[in-house]
Structure formats: C-alpha cells, structure tokens
Amino acid sequence: MKRVGVLALQGDFEAHSLALARAGAEPVLARTAADLANLDGLVIPGGESSTMLKLLELENLFEPLAGFGRLRPIFGTCAGAILLATDVTHPSQPSLGLMNMSVERNGYGRQIDSRVAHIEPAPEFEQRTHSGELEAVFIRAPIIRRVGPDAHVLASYQGDPVLVEQGRHLVATFHPELGSDSRVHDLFLSKL
C-alpha cells in the first residue's frame, strides 16, 4: 500500500486523508520535514496559501517540501495548486515553482462566490480513470491563467484549466476530496 502524506498545517487535510484511504492509499499526516521521509507522494490541501507559506517558513518546511517535489509526486488542491505554480498573482507571492503555470489567487471571487459545478474532463482523463462528469467544488478558488508546454489540461471550467498535470505532479483548483468521486485521487495514486 502506498504511503501518501497530507500536509497538515492548515486546510482540510482530514478530508484528503479520507479520500486517499477510499482510493486505497495509507494517508499519513505530515507536519515536519522528518514526516516527509518514507512517503511515496504528498497532498497539499486547500486552505489559505499565504497562511500556508507563513507556516511553512515557521516550521522550516519550504525547502524540504521543494526538495520532496523534485523527487516525488505532489498533488495540490486550491491553495496547494497555488503553492506548486511558478507564478502567482493577485497579489504576487512566493511559491515552490514545481509546475510551469501562472495562477491568480481567488480568481473566481470571494467566499460568497464559491460554487459546485459539474465539468466534463478531457478524454485523456477519462481514458486513465472512468468516464463521466466530475463534481467540482470551488471555494475561493484560484484560476490557472497559463500552463507551460509540458503541462496537460485534464479538465476545464468556463474555459480555464482546473485540473492539470505536469510530469509527476497534479493540481486541481477545486476540491475533489469533498465529494464521493475518487477518480482524481486515483489518478494521483497512479503516479506513485
């Protein structure tokens, strides 16, 4: 069984732990650099990206996390997607720079603009999982404004990428852990 860490500094790390367990992985809460050892992959959950950055610095986790991502897969949702990007705007902030993409924070609006949408994934996603629309829960979600040539858009919403993979990494600007569909987590586990 694959051991998958869930960064447990802030955000809904418990929901990701449950989703990983449903998908057949052993979830491990990760709060320190030592916790990253012996993990096959890592999930960075949604939350508040600027708060996560402060906590990463406080716990001396920024560089260990970047190093982990250079060797092993990371799946970032919402704030996690922001942290994996190379460019962050609205406002600008540091990031791990592990995926060649530009992300605008809170691109869909404020908390009251949060929504649940049903989106059709790209055929490439359906070939690797199962067919059918995805339920996408957007909570103060970022918008991916640009993806590099080495990234693959696996789903879009209103013309913007919302599920993107690049090499070993995967990001979603929505929260797949809040629904019962495990296909996005299954796809991540297939990268381990």
Q: What is the pLDDT of residues 15-66, one digit of tens each?
A: 999 999 999 999 999 999 999 999 999 999 998 898 999 999 999 999 999 9
Q: What is the pLDDT of residues 142-170, one digit of tens each?
A: 999 999 999 999 999 999 999 999 999 99
> Phi and psi at residue 175, in whole multiples of 5°?
-115, 85
**Which residue of the set 16, 104, 177, 185 is catalytic?**
177
**Which residue of the set 16, 169, 175, 185 is catalytic?**
175
Residue 115: the pLDDT is 84
Amino acid, single-letter form, for residue 159: G
**Which residue of the set 78, 104, 165, 169 is catalytic?**
78
Domains observed in the chain: 3-189 (3.40.50.880)
What six digits make up the tokens of 108? 């869909």
Please indicate whether residue 177 is annotated as part of the active site: yes
Distance CA 89, CA 94 (A): 10
Please indicate whether residue 78 is annotated as part of the active site: yes
8 A C-beta contact, residue 12 and residue 45:
yes
Please indicate whether residue 14 is annotated as part of the active site: no
Q: What is the pTM of this model?
A: 0.95
The CA-CA-CA angle for residues 106, 54, 104, to 5°, reads 20
